Amino acid sequence: MSEFPQDEAPRPVLRHSGMAEVRHVESATRQFRSLDHRFGGGSCREAALALASWSERVLTHSSTTETVRERLGQAMADLHNLAAWTCFDTARPDLAGPHFDRALELATLVDNHDLTANVLYRTGRVHLHHDRLDDALAAFERGKASATLAGSALSEAILCANEAWAHARKGNRDLALLRMGNARDAFEAADHRSPPTWAAFFDEVDLEATTGVVYTELAIVVDDAYTAFAIPRLTHAIAGYSEGMTRSRAFSQIALAVNHVVERDFERAAKVGLQAVDSSAKVLSARTRDRLRPLRAAASRHEGDDDARELVERIDRFTGNF
């Protein structure tokens, strides 16, 4: 799955480029984004990187009109943003950083504040994944400023929800709950009729999932009573995700299993955790493996229980073969 579909292979660079080349980049990026959601970044990373390289040569070496150049710049910013995300998802931060930087540069050049906000959201998620929480919050704050300039309530919702996640991990309960409320208010105010492709993933289901993750962090760091709020939201999200959102479902299953471990309901933890491992096995994503580690650590503290021990052993078998 790492090669281009036959009709999406990079084309030779022409002396003159037009809307056909722009549409080629836009179409391929949509296809790669779908593959990323369903099969993980490893399913399309090399293809996205190759197309990004080709599009740069088109921009540099082809003559074109100003209108085409502006739309190509936006398409390339979206593509570099996705390419960086697939690198992040496959544990290649050395590749992700330059592509995020280029995406931000291009989005700024074409004055697309909403796409700028999305690049900053994804940059913040890299920091959050690696527990660089202050860096994550700084990126999310910059992203919110861009979302305000764009007049995009949906992007504001995405950024506020992720701010809540970072604050919850830091143990800042009041700020986490405040930002989660801000996220829901912005989401309800957003126009959901035709969201840009880079933000379309954040629907009611994903909002529920993120809310569940915020409560999960609070349950771990602040008060285990928050499992009562996390579990129904994560359960609802797992049931609501489409077949095209395999990785997101896996993340929610992992978080749900963590909550059951916190509650010492090891039978349910094992059941959901094993489902999470099965879902993770369907995607080429290092992040699912990384998210399983805290679940394993939590379950390993209760290896006297048969269900907890089975979950630890299953995670070890999966991560050992990754």
What's domain 203-322's architecture? Alpha Horseshoe (1.25)
**Residue 29 and residue 47: Cα distance in Å, rounded?**
10
**CATH class label, 112-191:** mainly alpha
Sequence-distant (6+) residues with CB within 8 A of 243 are 38
Compute the half-sphere exposure of residue 115: CA atoms within 13 Å on the CB side of its CA: 26
| Whether the Cβ atoms of residue 144 and residue 159 lie closer than 8 Å to each other | yes
pLDDT at residue 191, rounded to an integer: 93
Q: Where are the domains of the chain?
A: 1-92, 112-191, 203-322
pLDDT at residue 66, rounded to an integer: 84
pLDDT at residue 63, rounded to an integer: 72
| Whether the Cβ atoms of residue 187 and residue 168 lie closer than 8 Å to each other | no
Q: From first to last of its 322 residues, what are the pLDDT tens digits of the chain?
A: 333 333 444 555 446 678 888 999 999 999 999 999 999 999 999 999 999 999 998 888 677 788 888 999 999 999 999 999 999 999 999 999 999 999 999 999 999 999 999 999 999 999 999 999 999 999 999 999 999 999 999 999 999 999 999 999 999 999 999 999 999 999 999 999 999 999 999 999 999 999 999 999 999 999 999 999 999 999 999 999 999 999 999 999 999 999 999 999 999 999 999 999 999 999 999 999 999 999 999 999 998 999 999 999 999 999 885 4
pLDDT at residue 59, rounded to an integer: 82
Cβ neighbours around 275 below 10 Å, total: 17
pLDDT at residue 2, rounded to an integer: 36
Hey, what amino acid is at 266? F
pLDDT at residue 1, rounded to an integer: 34
Alpha carbon 248 to chain centroid, angstroms: 8
pLDDT at residue 8, rounded to an integer: 47
Structure tokens belonging to residue 183: 């996220």
Same fold, 112-191 and 203-322: yes
Strand partners, 171: none
Angle between helices 113-129 and 66-89 (to 10 degrees): 10
